[in-house]
A and B are shown apart, each in its own frame.
Chain A
Amino acid sequence: MSRNVLELVLHRLCVDRTVKQRFKEDSVGLLARYDLTEAERAMLTGFDVAAMQQHGANPMLTFGFWSENAPDRHPAAYMRALRGEAESGTYAFSAVLKR
Protein backbone atom coordinates (compact mmCIF):
# COMPACT_ATOMS: atom_id res chain seq x y z
CA MET A 1 0.00 0.00 0.00
CA SER A 2 1.12 3.54 -0.66
CA ARG A 3 -0.04 6.65 1.07
CA ASN A 4 0.42 8.66 -2.12
CA VAL A 5 -2.87 7.84 -3.86
CA LEU A 6 -4.68 8.00 -0.54
CA GLU A 7 -3.32 11.51 -0.04
CA LEU A 8 -4.28 12.41 -3.60
CA VAL A 9 -7.88 11.40 -2.91
CA LEU A 10 -7.91 13.07 0.49
CA HIS A 11 -6.65 16.31 -1.00
CA ARG A 12 -9.34 16.29 -3.68
CA LEU A 13 -11.93 15.60 -1.02
CA CYS A 14 -10.66 18.65 0.82
CA VAL A 15 -10.61 21.18 -2.01
CA ASP A 16 -12.70 20.00 -4.98
CA ARG A 17 -16.41 20.67 -4.59
CA THR A 18 -17.37 18.30 -7.41
CA VAL A 19 -15.39 15.43 -5.94
CA LYS A 20 -16.86 16.08 -2.52
CA GLN A 21 -20.38 15.97 -3.94
CA ARG A 22 -19.66 12.73 -5.82
CA PHE A 23 -18.27 11.19 -2.65
CA LYS A 24 -21.42 12.14 -0.83
CA GLU A 25 -23.67 10.67 -3.52
CA ASP A 26 -21.69 7.57 -4.54
CA SER A 27 -18.50 7.04 -2.58
CA VAL A 28 -17.95 3.52 -3.90
CA GLY A 29 -18.28 4.67 -7.49
CA LEU A 30 -15.97 7.61 -6.96
CA LEU A 31 -13.28 5.59 -5.21
CA ALA A 32 -13.35 2.93 -7.93
CA ARG A 33 -11.64 5.46 -10.21
CA TYR A 34 -8.53 5.46 -8.05
CA ASP A 35 -5.81 2.86 -7.57
CA LEU A 36 -6.63 2.28 -3.93
CA THR A 37 -6.50 -0.94 -1.97
CA GLU A 38 -9.63 -2.31 -0.38
CA ALA A 39 -8.25 -1.33 3.01
CA GLU A 40 -7.77 2.25 1.83
CA ARG A 41 -11.28 2.39 0.38
CA ALA A 42 -12.62 1.17 3.71
CA MET A 43 -10.70 3.89 5.55
CA LEU A 44 -12.32 6.52 3.36
CA THR A 45 -15.88 5.24 3.38
CA GLY A 46 -15.63 4.51 7.10
CA PHE A 47 -14.04 7.88 7.94
CA ASP A 48 -11.35 5.92 9.78
CA VAL A 49 -8.96 8.82 10.25
CA ALA A 50 -6.91 6.93 12.84
CA ALA A 51 -6.17 4.17 10.34
CA MET A 52 -5.31 6.73 7.69
CA GLN A 53 -2.72 8.31 9.96
CA GLN A 54 -1.30 4.93 10.87
CA HIS A 55 -1.05 4.38 7.13
CA GLY A 56 1.05 7.53 6.85
CA ALA A 57 -1.51 10.08 5.66
CA ASN A 58 -0.76 13.67 6.62
CA PRO A 59 -2.88 14.70 9.65
CA MET A 60 -3.75 18.00 7.99
CA LEU A 61 -5.42 16.03 5.22
CA THR A 62 -7.30 13.70 7.55
CA PHE A 63 -8.54 16.70 9.52
CA GLY A 64 -9.54 18.52 6.34
CA PHE A 65 -11.21 15.43 4.91
CA TRP A 66 -13.25 15.01 8.06
CA SER A 67 -14.16 18.71 8.26
CA GLU A 68 -15.40 18.72 4.68
CA ASN A 69 -17.09 15.34 4.36
CA ALA A 70 -17.95 13.60 7.64
CA PRO A 71 -21.58 13.25 8.71
CA ASP A 72 -20.68 15.13 11.90
CA ARG A 73 -18.02 17.59 10.80
CA HIS A 74 -17.41 19.09 14.21
CA PRO A 75 -13.77 18.92 15.32
CA ALA A 76 -14.86 17.29 18.55
CA ALA A 77 -16.27 14.37 16.57
CA TYR A 78 -12.99 14.16 14.65
CA MET A 79 -11.02 13.98 17.86
CA ARG A 80 -13.26 11.24 19.20
CA ALA A 81 -12.79 9.25 16.00
CA LEU A 82 -9.06 9.81 16.02
CA ARG A 83 -8.72 8.75 19.63
CA GLY A 84 -11.07 5.80 19.22
CA GLU A 85 -13.47 7.16 21.81
CA ALA A 86 -17.16 6.32 21.93
CA GLU A 87 -19.82 8.95 21.33
CA SER A 88 -20.50 10.69 24.60
CA GLY A 89 -22.76 13.57 23.74
CA THR A 90 -22.04 16.98 22.35
CA TYR A 91 -19.21 19.05 23.65
CA ALA A 92 -17.34 22.06 22.46
CA PHE A 93 -14.16 21.80 20.41
CA SER A 94 -12.16 23.73 22.95
CA ALA A 95 -13.44 21.58 25.81
CA VAL A 96 -12.35 18.45 23.97
CA LEU A 97 -8.93 19.88 23.29
CA LYS A 98 -8.38 20.65 26.94
CA ARG A 99 -8.64 17.01 27.89
Chain B
Amino acid sequence: MGRIAGGFLVPHDPVMFVEPEAPPPDIRERIWGAFRTCADRLAALEATSVVIVGADHYYNFGTGCLPQYLIGTGDVEGPLDVMPGLKRQVIPTSQPLANFIASHGHEHGFDWAVARAISVDHAVAIPDRLIVDPVRVSGQRIGTVPVYIAAGVDPYLSMRRSIELGAAIRAAVEAMPGDERVVVIGSGGLSHWVGMPQMGRVNEAFDREIMDHACTGNLGAMRELSDAYILEHGGNGGMEVRQWAVAMGAMPGARGEIIEYAPVPEWVTGLGFVQLFA
Protein backbone atom coordinates (compact mmCIF):
# COMPACT_ATOMS: atom_id res chain seq x y z
CA MET B 1 0.00 0.00 0.00
CA GLY B 2 1.01 3.57 -0.46
CA ARG B 3 1.73 6.03 2.29
CA ILE B 4 1.81 9.74 2.96
CA ALA B 5 5.51 10.42 3.43
CA GLY B 6 5.26 14.07 4.40
CA GLY B 7 3.75 17.43 3.71
CA PHE B 8 4.54 21.06 3.07
CA LEU B 9 2.48 24.22 3.43
CA VAL B 10 3.80 26.92 1.14
CA PRO B 11 2.80 30.12 -0.68
CA HIS B 12 2.35 30.54 -4.42
CA ASP B 13 2.95 34.25 -4.78
CA PRO B 14 3.06 35.42 -8.42
CA VAL B 15 4.27 38.89 -7.42
CA MET B 16 7.62 37.28 -6.59
CA PHE B 17 8.02 36.78 -10.32
CA VAL B 18 6.40 40.02 -11.47
CA GLU B 19 8.25 42.31 -9.05
CA PRO B 20 11.22 40.22 -7.85
CA GLU B 21 13.25 43.19 -6.66
CA ALA B 22 10.50 44.87 -4.63
CA PRO B 23 11.30 43.67 -1.08
CA PRO B 24 14.62 44.29 0.69
CA PRO B 25 17.39 41.89 -0.43
CA ASP B 26 17.48 39.93 2.82
CA ILE B 27 13.76 39.22 2.62
CA ARG B 28 14.06 38.15 -1.00
CA GLU B 29 16.85 35.73 -0.16
CA ARG B 30 14.99 34.29 2.81
CA ILE B 31 11.90 33.55 0.71
CA TRP B 32 13.65 32.11 -2.33
CA GLY B 33 15.87 30.19 0.12
CA ALA B 34 12.79 28.76 1.82
CA PHE B 35 11.65 27.27 -1.47
CA ARG B 36 15.13 25.75 -1.90
CA THR B 37 14.92 24.30 1.61
CA CYS B 38 11.56 22.75 0.79
CA ALA B 39 13.08 21.21 -2.33
CA ASP B 40 15.99 19.78 -0.35
CA ARG B 41 13.64 18.33 2.24
CA LEU B 42 11.37 16.90 -0.45
CA ALA B 43 14.37 15.18 -1.98
CA ALA B 44 15.15 13.60 1.38
CA LEU B 45 11.64 12.16 1.60
CA GLU B 46 12.21 10.12 -1.57
CA ALA B 47 8.70 10.76 -2.78
CA THR B 48 7.33 9.14 -5.89
CA SER B 49 4.42 11.58 -6.19
CA VAL B 50 3.32 14.95 -4.89
CA VAL B 51 -0.28 16.06 -4.56
CA ILE B 52 -0.30 19.84 -4.92
CA VAL B 53 -3.48 21.43 -3.57
CA GLY B 54 -4.20 24.85 -5.01
CA ALA B 55 -7.10 27.22 -5.49
CA ASP B 56 -8.46 28.61 -8.70
CA HIS B 57 -8.24 32.39 -8.99
CA TYR B 58 -11.30 32.71 -11.25
CA TYR B 59 -8.97 31.89 -14.09
CA ASN B 60 -9.11 28.17 -14.83
CA PHE B 61 -12.81 28.04 -14.06
CA GLY B 62 -15.51 30.52 -15.01
CA THR B 63 -19.12 31.20 -14.10
CA GLY B 64 -20.23 28.17 -16.13
CA CYS B 65 -18.51 25.66 -13.87
CA LEU B 66 -17.13 26.25 -10.39
CA PRO B 67 -16.09 22.88 -8.95
CA GLN B 68 -15.86 22.46 -5.20
CA TYR B 69 -12.88 20.18 -5.71
CA LEU B 70 -11.19 18.84 -8.77
CA ILE B 71 -8.31 16.48 -9.48
CA GLY B 72 -6.17 16.35 -12.59
CA THR B 73 -6.17 12.73 -13.69
CA GLY B 74 -4.45 13.13 -17.04
CA ASP B 75 -1.96 15.38 -18.75
CA VAL B 76 -0.83 18.52 -16.96
CA GLU B 77 0.97 21.64 -18.11
CA GLY B 78 1.36 25.09 -16.71
CA PRO B 79 1.20 27.74 -15.71
CA LEU B 80 -1.74 28.99 -17.72
CA ASP B 81 -0.86 32.48 -16.49
CA VAL B 82 2.74 32.68 -17.68
CA MET B 83 4.92 35.35 -16.14
CA PRO B 84 8.55 36.41 -16.19
CA GLY B 85 10.66 33.47 -15.11
CA LEU B 86 7.72 31.10 -15.10
CA LYS B 87 7.09 29.88 -18.62
CA ARG B 88 4.59 27.20 -19.50
CA GLN B 89 5.88 23.63 -19.62
CA VAL B 90 4.68 20.07 -19.42
CA ILE B 91 4.47 18.87 -15.82
CA PRO B 92 5.29 15.19 -15.15
CA THR B 93 2.30 13.39 -13.69
CA SER B 94 1.30 10.39 -11.60
CA GLN B 95 -1.79 9.45 -13.49
CA PRO B 96 -2.37 6.01 -11.94
CA LEU B 97 -2.36 7.60 -8.49
CA ALA B 98 -4.58 10.49 -9.56
CA ASN B 99 -7.12 8.16 -11.13
CA PHE B 100 -7.04 5.93 -8.08
CA ILE B 101 -7.70 8.88 -5.76
CA ALA B 102 -10.63 9.94 -7.94
CA SER B 103 -12.11 6.44 -8.17
CA HIS B 104 -11.59 5.75 -4.48
CA GLY B 105 -13.30 9.03 -3.67
CA HIS B 106 -16.25 8.26 -5.92
CA GLU B 107 -16.73 4.99 -4.07
CA HIS B 108 -16.47 6.62 -0.64
CA GLY B 109 -18.54 9.77 -0.79
CA PHE B 110 -16.21 12.22 -2.51
CA ASP B 111 -17.53 13.18 -5.93
CA TRP B 112 -14.37 14.54 -7.47
CA ALA B 113 -14.64 16.59 -10.60
CA VAL B 114 -11.83 15.51 -12.88
CA ALA B 115 -9.67 17.27 -15.42
CA ARG B 116 -8.35 14.85 -18.04
CA ALA B 117 -5.99 17.48 -19.38
CA ILE B 118 -5.38 20.74 -17.59
CA SER B 119 -3.25 23.84 -17.77
CA VAL B 120 -2.78 24.61 -14.11
CA ASP B 121 -2.37 28.18 -12.94
CA HIS B 122 0.34 29.52 -10.66
CA ALA B 123 -1.24 27.95 -7.57
CA VAL B 124 0.07 24.57 -8.67
CA ALA B 125 2.81 25.64 -11.06
CA ILE B 126 4.86 27.71 -8.62
CA PRO B 127 5.38 25.01 -5.98
CA ASP B 128 5.89 22.46 -8.74
CA ARG B 129 8.56 24.61 -10.39
CA LEU B 130 10.34 25.76 -7.23
CA ILE B 131 10.05 22.68 -5.01
CA VAL B 132 9.47 19.61 -7.17
CA ASP B 133 11.38 20.44 -10.34
CA PRO B 134 14.74 20.82 -8.58
CA VAL B 135 14.32 17.31 -7.20
CA ARG B 136 13.53 15.99 -10.67
CA VAL B 137 16.63 17.70 -12.01
CA SER B 138 18.67 15.88 -9.38
CA GLY B 139 17.50 12.58 -10.80
CA GLN B 140 14.44 11.56 -8.80
CA ARG B 141 11.27 10.79 -10.71
CA ILE B 142 8.31 12.52 -9.09
CA GLY B 143 4.88 12.85 -10.66
CA THR B 144 2.55 15.69 -9.78
CA VAL B 145 -1.15 15.30 -9.06
CA PRO B 146 -2.93 18.69 -9.17
CA VAL B 147 -5.92 19.30 -6.95
CA TYR B 148 -8.03 22.43 -7.02
CA ILE B 149 -10.45 23.45 -4.31
CA ALA B 150 -12.92 26.33 -4.20
CA ALA B 151 -11.07 28.90 -2.10
CA GLY B 152 -10.91 31.87 -4.44
CA VAL B 153 -14.49 31.95 -5.69
CA ASP B 154 -17.64 31.38 -3.72
CA PRO B 155 -19.33 29.13 -2.85
CA TYR B 156 -16.23 28.15 -0.93
CA LEU B 157 -15.40 24.61 0.08
CA SER B 158 -16.00 24.51 3.82
CA MET B 159 -13.09 24.11 6.19
CA ARG B 160 -14.71 20.94 7.47
CA ARG B 161 -14.93 19.47 4.00
CA SER B 162 -11.40 20.58 3.18
CA ILE B 163 -10.09 18.56 6.10
CA GLU B 164 -12.27 15.62 5.09
CA LEU B 165 -10.95 15.87 1.55
CA GLY B 166 -7.42 15.57 2.87
CA ALA B 167 -8.46 12.46 4.79
CA ALA B 168 -9.98 11.07 1.60
CA ILE B 169 -6.70 11.58 -0.23
CA ARG B 170 -4.87 9.80 2.55
CA ALA B 171 -7.36 6.91 2.52
CA ALA B 172 -6.95 6.51 -1.21
CA VAL B 173 -3.16 6.57 -1.04
CA GLU B 174 -3.18 3.92 1.68
CA ALA B 175 -5.63 1.78 -0.28
CA MET B 176 -3.61 1.88 -3.47
CA PRO B 177 -1.61 -1.24 -4.29
CA GLY B 178 2.09 -0.66 -4.67
CA ASP B 179 4.52 1.43 -2.74
CA GLU B 180 3.77 5.01 -3.64
CA ARG B 181 5.39 7.56 -1.34
CA VAL B 182 3.22 10.64 -1.52
CA VAL B 183 3.97 14.13 -0.29
CA VAL B 184 1.05 16.55 0.01
CA ILE B 185 1.70 20.22 -0.63
CA GLY B 186 -0.89 22.74 0.51
CA SER B 187 -0.30 25.75 -1.71
CA GLY B 188 -1.71 29.10 -0.67
CA GLY B 189 -2.26 31.72 1.96
CA LEU B 190 -1.53 33.35 4.24
CA SER B 191 -3.15 36.78 4.67
CA HIS B 192 -3.61 38.77 1.48
CA TRP B 193 -6.26 40.92 -0.06
CA VAL B 194 -6.28 40.14 -3.79
CA GLY B 195 -7.67 42.96 -5.91
CA MET B 196 -9.27 44.59 -2.88
CA PRO B 197 -8.72 48.12 -1.58
CA GLN B 198 -6.56 46.68 1.20
CA MET B 199 -4.23 44.91 -1.27
CA GLY B 200 -0.75 45.05 0.21
CA ARG B 201 -1.95 44.64 3.78
CA VAL B 202 -0.48 41.71 5.69
CA ASN B 203 -1.80 40.52 9.04
CA GLU B 204 1.06 38.79 10.80
CA ALA B 205 -1.09 37.87 13.80
CA PHE B 206 -3.48 35.92 11.58
CA ASP B 207 -0.59 34.31 9.76
CA ARG B 208 1.03 33.15 12.97
CA GLU B 209 -2.31 31.86 14.27
CA ILE B 210 -2.63 29.62 11.21
CA MET B 211 0.98 28.49 11.36
CA ASP B 212 0.53 27.63 15.02
CA HIS B 213 -2.46 25.46 14.14
CA ALA B 214 -0.33 23.78 11.48
CA CYS B 215 2.62 23.18 13.77
CA THR B 216 0.47 21.72 16.52
CA GLY B 217 -1.66 19.70 14.12
CA ASN B 218 -4.75 21.43 15.45
CA LEU B 219 -7.37 20.30 12.96
CA GLY B 220 -10.14 21.30 15.34
CA ALA B 221 -9.04 24.93 15.34
CA MET B 222 -8.75 24.92 11.56
CA ARG B 223 -12.22 23.44 11.27
CA GLU B 224 -13.66 26.17 13.47
CA LEU B 225 -12.31 29.06 11.38
CA SER B 226 -15.36 30.78 9.94
CA ASP B 227 -15.38 32.40 6.52
CA ALA B 228 -16.23 35.74 8.13
CA TYR B 229 -13.25 35.50 10.46
CA ILE B 230 -10.86 34.55 7.68
CA LEU B 231 -12.13 37.31 5.39
CA GLU B 232 -11.80 39.93 8.11
CA HIS B 233 -8.36 38.94 9.33
CA GLY B 234 -6.81 37.17 6.34
CA GLY B 235 -8.55 38.77 3.39
CA ASN B 236 -10.05 37.03 0.40
CA GLY B 237 -6.63 35.47 -0.25
CA GLY B 238 -6.62 34.12 3.28
CA MET B 239 -9.41 31.80 2.26
CA GLU B 240 -6.59 29.74 0.79
CA VAL B 241 -5.81 28.38 4.24
CA ARG B 242 -8.23 25.73 3.01
CA GLN B 243 -5.39 24.25 0.99
CA TRP B 244 -3.40 24.02 4.20
CA ALA B 245 -6.39 22.32 5.82
CA VAL B 246 -6.49 19.72 3.05
CA ALA B 247 -2.81 18.89 3.57
CA MET B 248 -3.26 18.80 7.33
CA GLY B 249 -6.33 16.60 6.89
CA ALA B 250 -4.16 14.16 4.95
CA MET B 251 -1.79 13.98 7.92
CA PRO B 252 -3.89 13.83 11.09
CA GLY B 253 -1.77 14.12 14.20
CA ALA B 254 1.23 15.40 12.30
CA ARG B 255 3.35 18.10 13.87
CA GLY B 256 4.81 20.86 11.82
CA GLU B 257 7.89 23.04 11.77
CA ILE B 258 8.12 26.55 10.41
CA ILE B 259 10.80 26.68 7.76
CA GLU B 260 10.38 30.39 7.15
CA TYR B 261 7.94 33.22 7.58
CA ALA B 262 7.98 36.84 6.57
CA PRO B 263 5.25 39.43 6.16
CA VAL B 264 6.04 40.93 2.76
CA PRO B 265 3.70 43.76 1.79
CA GLU B 266 5.74 44.37 -1.36
CA TRP B 267 4.70 40.88 -2.46
CA VAL B 268 1.16 41.47 -1.07
CA THR B 269 1.11 38.59 1.41
CA GLY B 270 2.51 36.88 4.43
CA LEU B 271 4.77 34.13 3.15
CA GLY B 272 4.80 31.10 5.40
CA PHE B 273 6.53 27.76 4.87
CA VAL B 274 5.74 24.81 7.13
CA GLN B 275 6.86 21.20 6.89
CA LEU B 276 4.50 18.55 8.23
CA PHE B 277 6.11 15.39 9.54
CA ALA B 278 4.43 12.05 8.96
Report A's interface with B, CB cutoff 8 A: 4, 7-8, 11-12, 14-15, 50, 53, 58-64, 78-79, 82-83, 92-94, 96-99
Contact = CB atoms under 8 A, between A and B. Distances in A.
B59 A64 contact: yes
Contacts of B22: 92-94
A97 B19 CA distance: 12
A93 B19 contact: yes
22 contacts: A7-B63, A12-B62, A14-B58, A58-B195, A59-B193, A59-B236, A60-B58, A60-B152, A60-B153, A64-B59, A79-B197, A82-B195, A82-B196, A82-B197, A93-B19, A94-B19, A94-B23, A97-B199, A97-B200, A97-B265, A98-B266, A99-B200
B265 A11 contact: no
Interface in B40-98: 57-59, 62-64
A14 B194 contact: no
A83 B200 CA distance: 13
Contacts of A64: 57-59, 195
A4 B195 contact: no
Contacts of A7: 58, 63
Contacts of A93: 19, 22
Given A14-B58, A59-B236, A96 B200 contact: yes
Q: Is the interface of A mostly helix, strand, loop or mixed?
A: helix
B247 interface: no
Contacts of B23: 94
Contacts of B219: none
A83 B197 contact: yes
Contacts of B154: 58
B58 A58 contact: yes
B62 A15 contact: yes
Contacts of A14: 58-59
B88 to A, nearest CB: 15
Name the residue in A4, A82, A99 with the highest tally of chain B Cβ atoms < 10 Å from its Cβ: A82
B268 interface: yes
Nearest to A97: B200
B111 to A, nearest CB: 24
Contacts of A15: 59, 62
Contacts of B64: 8
Contacts of A61: 58, 195
B129 to A, nearest CB: 21
Contacts of A94: 19, 22-23, 265-266
A79 B199 contact: yes
Contacts of A97: 199-200, 265-266, 268
Given A14-B59, A93-B19, 12 more contacts: A11-B62, A50-B197, A53-B196, A58-B195, A59-B194, A59-B195, A60-B152, A79-B199, A93-B22, A94-B19, A94-B265, A99-B200
